[in-house]
Structure formats: structure tokens, C-alpha cells
Amino acid sequence: MKKENKALDMMWTVILTIASVLYMYPIVMIFFNSLKEETSISTNSAVQLPTAETFAGLENYLNAINSKGFLQSLGYSIVITVTSVIAILLLCSMCSWYITRVKGIVSSGLYFLFAFSMVVPFQMVMFTLSQTADQLKLNTPWNIWIIYLGFGAGLAVFMFAGFMKSIPLEVEEASMIDGCNPLQTYFLIVMPMLKPTMVSVGILEAMWVWNDYLLPTLVLDIKKYKTIPMLIQYFRGSYGRVEMGPMMACIMLTVIPIVITYLLGQKHIIKGVAAGAVKG
């Protein structure tokens, strides 16, 4: 029996290793191409490693950073990601606290609405979303977080509510006996206990917002504002020519921060997801 289990574990290890290599292959090739000279990046040589003749060093990265609009787009992406994640973490955790502690038709209805929002395809609402965003003036990097809050609330509330069901109610009752009002109870007692779920939700939402291309393209004024994913799409050189080297470097500069963030917080993601799956 043990030999069969070992053979099965080995088989799954090989399968998952192959799958991991296949997933990593595009990123690795983009990285290698970002180190090549512009003339060597073509259909025939794209899969080849850089050589002494084709190696461009950091030239493509410097061109990408110095290109028109990169730093500005980077700033827009940072603003949108930070404001959206903060809003989702704060407001959704407070809403989840209300849902789990106040029993009634309203709280139950809210919970099912948030859960239902996760299964609604974005394509069903994207056209009306664009018109609504223009009418409500939500088409700038400074207030697009309101839209991200709406679309990110479903997963956040689901995970926060699942975790809060495992928190003993006696802890909150003791704080209120000591004189804490509801806001003090939340910020001083409940929020510190939400750290695992806060971290996991924050990282998942940050990865989504940072890499999102469709929603900003639909909502933002492309002539005025471009996020990093939008800039990559419109990466053009003189006479409309696509500069493949700087574009590959720009992709790597976009991927690296969010990959590092995920690697640093992956253990918290697992803890937060497991905690959010606890049933009351």
C-alpha cells in the first residue's frame, strides 16, 4: 500500500512539475526576449536564448522606463490599486461583520447578493458600466476605486464572513461590557483577528486590480489616462512601429512587483482561504 502511495505521489509530482514549467514558459521567454536586441526578436528567434551578438543588457529596460507615459501609467496603476484594495478591505470587512452579527432578512439578503455577484459575467454589465461611469464621473484614476469596490466586494465579503463566523461572540461582548462602542469593538478587537483574511484578500484583490486591462479601458479616458496594462497594449515607437524589446521589458517590469507580492504573502493566502472556509 505504501509503495502504491509513493508511486501515486511521484506521478502527481511529475504531472504538476510539467504543468508548472508550461505555465512559467511564457514568462521565461518574455524575460529572455527583453534582454535581446530589437532586430533579433522575431518569429524564428523568439524562442532562442540571448547570445553575445543579440544580448542588449538593460537597454530595453531603460528605454521602457524612459518612454513617454511609463512613469505616469505606473503612478496611475499604483493609485488605482492602493485605493481600491484599501476600500475593499475596510468596507467589505465592516459589511461582513454586520452580516454575521446582525441576524435578519436584510443581512441574509445582503450576503446572498454579494455571493450572487461573483457568478455574474462581467460582459453582461460592461456596456452599461461604461455609460454609468461617464454619467457619475467615475472615469478617472482617483475615483475608479468605487467601481472596483463593487466588483471586488463579492469575494471579499464571502471570505470575511466565513472567517468571522469562527470568531467567538463572547470576545466582542466582553469589549462592549468594558465600554467599547461598535466602532471601537471593530477596530480594536475584530480587525486584528482578521489579519490572515485581510492579507489574503488584499493580495488577491491587488493582483486582480493591478493586472486588469478591460475595466480601465472601458471606463477611463484613454487619451488622458493609461494604466500599465493599457500602456503595454499601446506601446508604439515612431511611425506606429511596435518596439518589441522595450515592450517585453515593460511587461517584465509590470509582472515583477505583483509576483514578489504574491510570493511574500502566499502562506497568508492559504491561511486566509482556509479560515474563510470555516462554517459557523
In this prediction, residues 133-156 reach a mean pLDDT of 91
Look up residue 27 and give its three cell numbers: 514568462
pLDDT tens, 157-173?
998 998 888 888 888 88
Q: What is the pLDDT of residue 210?
A: 93
User: Is 219 inside a domain boundary?
Assistant: yes
Are residue 191 and residue 258 in the same domain, yes or no? yes
> Cα separation of 27 and 255, whole Å?
9
Are residue 50 and residue 73 in the same domain, yes or no? no
Are residue 30 and residue 127 in the same domain, yes or no? no
Are residue 233 and residue 253 in the same domain, yes or no? yes
Are residue 146 and residue 39 in the same domain, yes or no? no
> Cα separation of 18 and 29, whole Å?
16
Q: What is the pLDDT of residue 280?
A: 43
Are residue 32 and residue 149 in the same domain, yes or no? no
Are residue 99 and residue 19 in the same domain, yes or no? no
pLDDT tens, 84-98?
999 999 999 999 999
User: Is 62 inside a domain boundary?
Assistant: no
Percentage of the residues of the chain whose pLDDT score is greater than 70 = 88
Are residue 261 and residue 185 in the same domain, yes or no? yes
Are residue 43 and residue 135 in the same domain, yes or no? no
Range of 157's domain?
Answer: 67-276
- The position carrying cell 447578493 is 113
Give the total number of structural domains in the chain: 2
Q: Kindly tell me the burial class for residue 149, based on how many C-beta atoms sit within 10 Å of its own C-beta (0-12, 13-18, 19 or more).
A: buried
Are residue 44 and residue 181 in the same domain, yes or no? no
Look up residue 253 and give its three cell numbers: 517590469
pLDDT tens, 99-137?
998 888 988 888 998 988 888 888 888 888 888 888 888
pTM equals 0.84
Are residue 32 and residue 71 in the same domain, yes or no? no
